[in-house]
Structure 1
Amino acid sequence: MKSFDVREIRTILSGKLLYGSDETIVHHGAYRFKHINKKHTIFFSKKRIVNFNHLKEFFPLVIVTHRNINMSMQTEGVTIIQVEDTDKAYWKFVHYYRSLFNLPVVAITGTSGKTTTKEMIKHILSVDKNITGTGITSNSRTAHLQYLLNIDEDTEAGVFETAVGSPGDVLLACEYYKPSIGIITNIGEHHLNRCKSPEEYIKAKGEMVAALKNQGVLILNAEDENSKKIDLQHYQGRIIKVGKADSSDFIAKNIQYSNDGMEFTLKFNQKEYPSYVHGYGEHQVYNALSAIAAVNEIGIDPTEAVQRLKTFRKFNKQLQVLDGLNGSTILDDTWSSTTTSLEAALKVLDEIGKGRKKIAIIGTITDVGSWGYYIHQKAGEIVNNHDVDVLITIGMHAKIIADHAVKCGFKSKVYTFNNSILVYNLLSKIIDKNTIVLIKSDMYSKAIIELVARIKVKEKAKNVQLTNDKHIAE
């Protein structure tokens, strides 16, 4: 964070010094008590503060509030700035801070792939630029201020993930970051308990259009059906499309599975670039296209971008290939779980499982609220559309997936369990060296995480020997 003294802050906020020192320096910011974890923090307090004793370890501390403060509470190390409205003062500070820095900022949303795309962009840019952005797993709305304040005089670009839990989340995040480039990786069906319907969820993701304020660049997956439903009628900024069709701006051709990733030919502006991205699945190619398109806007040409992308490594538990029980192969996809990511995982199982027995173990899809039955039915439809030899579900709600897959016509073997205790015993009997097991859940499913730990043999990831060496994915 760029440092300020209290005098500067009072000027920005039109605040009054109640007590303390105008010379106190601020290096950090917070608007919740739990975010105060360092000295020299400015804290925007809407609530009445009874005493400061529990905050002594973080003195000097600067408090901005509209509340009347008992002057008998004067404490050495605490500076109080009084304002007319704490919330307005907070946003005045946020907008002022962001206005200090003229730099490219990428904001990314999507049902799946947003974290990977963000990390790809950071990986490409960080070779020769000072980058800041959201962490690998934390995209909470409560972290926006901290991520914004990570921008300082040395920052050359920002890359931020903007998740949707409720309508308004993308707009809120972009009030902090003010992106010049927006990416929507794809739109499935998730968080319907707060977005109320699939249509409202699409609108919530589509808030990226308004967030760019007709001044930026919007990058879209041209082949994603729900992304096509976003209202672009009044959008006056530039639109860049990525996909496999010739109508896209960044095009992926000749997509092939290699032994630990995807090879493809990038076509852009009539030129072709041999490309590679680590990790299995056509969805990885779409993530790569969005990343390359974004960094091209920041000045990294495709020739350099595809070279840097070759050294990017996806995260563990994202379709991670492991040696398994009885010589089997495990596809550990327990990073996150949505119907969109389930579809992507099953496509990978189809491809690298050719000629082998394919088992899919699927857990409950979480954070779907009252839409749980609908979402799990959708997952059952997805399973039925893929070549799975054995379906195993774990969890009461996951059983809906199995039941609906059968209702849709799924003819292979189905097993349902309430927990993973008996699954290991079943697997020990039915898997062998000719078996590939996809395990699909999110990182919060303790039972399935423990199951993966039991059936994997080695920590080290293995390469899958693909049938006929490579598979064409188009």
Structure 2
Amino acid sequence: MLRNPTLAEIAEITGGELLCGDAEAICLAVSTDTRTIQKGSLYVPLKGERFDGHDFANSAYNSGALAMLVERELSTELPQIKVKNTLRALADIAAWHRDQFTGHVVAVTGSAGKTTVKQLMGSVLSQRYKTLITQGNLNNHIGAPLTLLSLQPEHEAAMIELGASGVGEIAYTANLTRPDVGILTNVVPAHLEGFGSVDNIALTKGELIDSVAPSGAMILNADDRYFSQWQARAASLKIISFGFSTEADITATDMHESLMGNKFTLKLPQESVQVSLSLSGLHNVRNALAVAAAATHLGFSAAEIKAGLEQAAAVAGRLEHCEGREGQVIFNDAYNANPESFCAAIDVLKLAEGRRILVMGDMGELGDAAEEMHAQVGAYAKEQNIECLVATGPLSKSAVETFGDSGHWFESRHAVTEYLTKTTKNGDTLLVKGSRSAGMDLVVRSLTEKEED
């Protein structure tokens, strides 16, 4: 932690009551998981539909916890601070911890591209600063506070990813994060079951704007149809736009797209620089432009931006290049999916030589229009002259139907893997994609694992 609070300070921060224990005992860390808790940590038990962290108080004690927050007094040897709600108390401690940090904080949200922007921005920031970057998918109402609490004295900058599956969630986490620079990548149909409409997604993602420091900047996508709405919402802030639009502040020209990456001229306000990006897809050029806009505001040179962008590697599960057992080229894009990201990935697949196979799992949380959206992906793959579609999942049946000939649907991932093992070979290129719930990463694993002798 940046500063180690006493139990008395934690009680004050959370509006809680220290029931027992040494008020001057010093907390070294905060944890919600007794399996990974460190000695001297404050244990924060969270509650869900099927679990209650209070039940693991003794495990926390045996693991060396200093104290724990509780919503009800427990029979345990651990010192306890009673609070109304442990989740809210976790956020309160995270907000207090954020206040101790004086380095640059950049936050990103959007329907797609968040994690890639996070990695690219982290790489650029690291050209100059020791940078904390959100790990994995710790971007929600639990993960964001834990990320803020992982700030250490050696950190000079932070790159925080904020995700949401419902209205109000970005307001909650952005208010804790309070970034100097906010980046809003885009809005597309994703998590519609939680949001209700694309308009609600735009409003929720726009909540990030309200928490950016008054002296900070908001980085907005000039190509997005909600740009003007966000621009009005951010009227009191410095706005830097990015995109392929000629009206954007930060843009790209001379774009040369290949299966394994992109080359383009990055047009900054004062100068231009050639960039070779090892990430596939023009959508990743746009992600790079968002990062360049934020970095420009923070005073990074064109050379530093270029170096950071070029040193960044593909994120696991996002158009990640793999080699199949039989020499196939496999793009693992199985981390998540929505209709727009599916079409962007198909645009990459169509660049391949030889036979191109789209391997599709269901997209989750699309609401009443889910079947129609899957059908649209199948139609788009056909329009782009993809030779074969192999799919599993009840919703992906619609994609196979609209794709027509050379479309194959299977009951299980195992059946998909068996079919692909028998029918694909060296020279074929496979794009494997679906929502995380579809588990298409298991298909990638089966196709890439080397058989033991």
TM, length-normalised to structure 2? 0.85
| CA distance, structure 1, for counterparts of residue 93 and residue 4 of structure 2 | 13
Equivalent position of 1:126 in the other structure: 126
SS in structure 2 at match of 1:310: helix
Query: Structure 1 residue 323: deviation in Å?
Result: 4.3
Question: Superposition pairs for residues 355-374 of structure 1, below 5 Å?
Answer: 356-368=354-366, 370-374=368-372
| CA distance, structure 2, for counterparts of residue 226 and residue 439 of structure 1 | 30
Query: Structure 1 residue 8: deviation in Å?
Result: 3.8
Question: Superposition pairs for residues 259-270 of structure 1, below 5 Å?
Answer: 260-270=260-270
User: Which residue type is aligned with residue 397 of structure 2?
Assistant: K
Rate the CA distance shift 1:405–1:203 in 2: closer, same or farther, 3 A: farther
Query: Structure 1 residue 242: deviation in Å?
Result: 1.1
Equivalent position of 1:153 in the other structure: 153
CA contact (8 A) 2:43 2:60 kept: no
Rate the CA distance shift 1:44–1:256 in 2: closer, same or farther, 3 A: same
| CA distance, structure 1, for counterparts of residue 321 and residue 39 of structure 2 | 44
- Aligned: 1:6 with 2:7: yes
- For residues 244-270 of structure 1, give each alpha carbon's deviation from its aligned partner in whole angstroms, at most 9, with x where no partner exists: 233111111111135732110011124
Aligned match for 2:398, one of 383, 390, 400: 400
SS in structure 1 at match of 2:305: helix
- For residues 421-447 of structure 1, give each alpha carbon's deviation from its aligned partner in whole angstroms, at most 9, with x where no partner exists: 55456556765555433222245544x
User: Which residue type is aligned with residue 393 of structure 2?
Assistant: G
Query: Structure 1 residue 371: deviation in Å?
Result: 4.7
Query: Structure 1 residue 450: deviation in Å?
Result: 4.3
- For residues 288-325 of structure 1, give each alpha carbon's deviation from its aligned partner in whole angstroms, at most 9, with x where no partner exists: 11122222223321222102322221134432344447
| CA distance, structure 1, for counterparts of residue 402 and residue 432 of structure 2 | 19
Query: Structure 1 residue 119: deviation in Å?
Result: 0.9
Equivalent position of 1:300 in the other structure: 300
Q: Unmatched 5+ residue regions in structure 2?
A: none
Q: Unmatched 5+ residue regions in structure 1?
A: 407-411, 460-474
Rate the CA distance shift 1:252–1:8 in 2: closer, same or farther, 3 A: same
Query: Structure 1 residue 132: deviation in Å?
Result: 1.2
Query: Structure 1 residue 285: deviation in Å?
Result: 0.8
Query: Structure 1 residue 6: deviation in Å?
Result: 2.6
- Structure with the greater alpha carbon radius of gyration: 1
Question: Superposition pairs for residues 200-279 of structure 1, below 5 Å?
Answer: 200-212=200-212, 215-227=215-227, 230=230, 232-233=232-233, 235-258=235-258, 260-279=260-279
Equivalent position of 2:61 in the other structure: 56
User: Which residue type is aligned with residue 30 of structure 2?
Assistant: G
- For residues 132-152 of structure 1, give each alpha carbon's deviation from its aligned partner in whole angstroms, at most 9, with x where no partner exists: 131033323212222111123
Q: Which has the higher strand share?
A: 1
| CA distance, structure 1, for counterparts of residue 140 and residue 90 of structure 2 | 18
CA contact (8 A) 1:113 1:185 kept: yes
SS in structure 1 at match of 2:142: helix
| CA distance, structure 1, for counterparts of residue 56 and residue 413 of structure 2 | 49
CA contact (8 A) 2:187 2:198 kept: no
| Identity among equivalent pairs (%) | 24
- Aligned: 1:190 with 2:190: yes
Query: Structure 1 residue 350: deviation in Å?
Result: 2.1
| CA distance, structure 1, for counterparts of residue 446 and residue 16 of structure 2 | 59
| CA distance, structure 2, for counterparts of residue 228 and residue 346 of structure 1 | 29
User: Which residue type is aligned with residue 329 of structure 2?
Assistant: T
User: Which residue type is aligned with residue 28 of structure 2?
Assistant: H
- RMSD value, Cα: 3.3
| CA distance, structure 1, for counterparts of residue 334 and residue 85 of structure 2 | 45
Equivalent position of 2:444 in the other structure: 452
